[in-house]
Structure formats: structure tokens, C-alpha cells
Structure 1
């Protein structure tokens, strides 16, 4: 068994998947709708993928962003792929609101206020799953 937290699916709930990519909804009370797009196979860099797979991953990231915009109407959506602590291809797709603890800073930056503490509603989650399935298939 690998020590990779993404390979071991340590956090979140899979809300969409095919045999190559999965979308995980993270349970974060301050960042409603926070998703991660994860390549299922353990691969370190986007440039380790062939061009077709690079485009497939990015298409998924953009579709997740599009769906999150539609459901949550955030002030901004942050996209990030760092992988310094977890060297496995994954993209953070984070709806941002003026009321969130760090806005306008990165959600990894200095906290400016107490959080929203607003969990995703059952309807929002259902809509998210439905729209992802319509946009991405399956």
C-alpha cells in the first residue's frame, strides 16, 4: 500500500468518476463546494501525461469550475495544482466568497476573519452531482 493520500482516497467523497479521473467533494465548512479533480493513476506531473490525457484532465477541471459557478455564484473560483506535499496530479477547484476566512488571500494564506461555517446543502450537492454527470458523462 502506498503512502499517497490521493491513491488511498483519504479525504472527501467521490461525486463523479470514470476510469481515469475522479471529482472529490471535500467536506470543508469554510469552503462550500470545494472540489478536487484527481487523476486516479499515481502520476506526478501534467507533463508526464500524453497530450490527450492532459486535455481530458483540464476539461474536467474547467467543467467542475463551470458547474460550481452555476450552483454557488461565488465571487471567484481558485484553481490550483501544487503537489509539493502530495506529488500526485490533482487540481483544487475552490469557490471563493467575500465572507470566507481568507478572502481575498489564498485559502492557504493568512486568515482575515472567522469562517462562514456553511456546509453544502443536500440540494446543492444533488445539483452538483447531476450537473457534473451531464457535463462529463456517466
Structure 2
């Protein structure tokens, strides 16, 4: 069995939050949106349908948990969930809390030009907040 490795781009653009039964939970380093990335810790996957059926169901459950947590913590108008993979082929799912007042609303966050990294203090505070929110679920 091949060992799981996180894609270099995801490694560079995220910070770890948690390890779930299927996914690594990462914080996207973009302070404009509360943005989680779930990466199934399985080698060589690029698409959801490549997961065994049991893992597909687990993935939906983990997406729902991430979504509920962002909804509780940030009271967004909408949760966006997407698995694009055009730049990073490794299977990963974006879970983003969106608000009607965010700078890209109602358009997509991708390619919007709105990206600003967290300061180390902001990132650590946000990670702790999300970790606490996950423990409450």
C-alpha cells in the first residue's frame, strides 16, 4: 500500500486542523473566507467516485460535519462545497462559508482576485476556534 502524501500546493496554502477517519482537515490560508479543505488520506485519488462506497459515504458525513461547524461558528448565508482539482489533481474538497457581504458574492471565490493570507496569530486563533467548534459537534 502506498503512503499518503499531501500535494505540495495544499501543503503550502493550508494549515492542519484535524485528522478524521477519512480526511485531513485543513484551513485554507485566505483570511477573506472561513475556508476548510478536506483531503481523503488515500493515495492516488483524483475523483470522489474512485473512493470505495463506504468511504464515499464517510466523505459526505465529513463534509456535513465541516459544513455544520462553519455554519455554527460563522453564521454564513451559504456554504459552498466543491471538488475542482484543476490545479491540484489530488482529491480535495473545499468547504467555504460565504456571506452576501463578502467581496466575491455571488460569484465563485476561485479566480475572484480576493486572497489575503492570515497573520500567524490570526491563523492560530482561527484554528483553535474551529477545533473547539468541531469538538462541540
Task: Confirm or deny a common fold (TM above 0.5).
Answer: yes
Once the two structures are TM-superposed, the CA of residue 131 in structure 1 deviates from its matched residue by 2.6
Once the two structures are TM-superposed, the CA of residue 19 in structure 1 deviates from its matched residue by 5.6
SS at match of 2:39: strand
TM-score normalised per structure 1? 0.77
Q: CA RMSD in A?
A: 2.8
Q: How has the CA–CA distance of structure 1 residues 102 and 21 changed in structure 2, closer, same or farther, with 3 Å as cutoff?
A: same
Q: Matches of 2:41 and 2:32 in 1, distance apart? A: 26
Q: Matches of 2:6 and 2:116 in 1, distance apart? A: 32
Q: Which aligned runs of 4 or more in structure 1 are off by greater than 4 angstroms?
A: 114-121
TM-score normalised per structure 2? 0.78
- Structure 1 residues without counterparts, runs of 5 or longer: none
Q: Which has the higher helix share?
A: 2
Per the alignment, residue 36 of structure 1 pairs with 37
In the TM superposition, what whole-angstrom CA distance separates every residue of 1:16-36 from its partner, at most 9, and x where no partner exists? Answer: 1036311101121211x2110
- Structure 2 residues without counterparts, runs of 5 or longer: none
Matched positions, count: 129
For residues 2-81 of structure 1, what are the structure 2 equivalents within 5 Å? 4-5=7-8, 9-18=11-20, 20-31=22-33, 33-42=34-43, 43-81=45-83
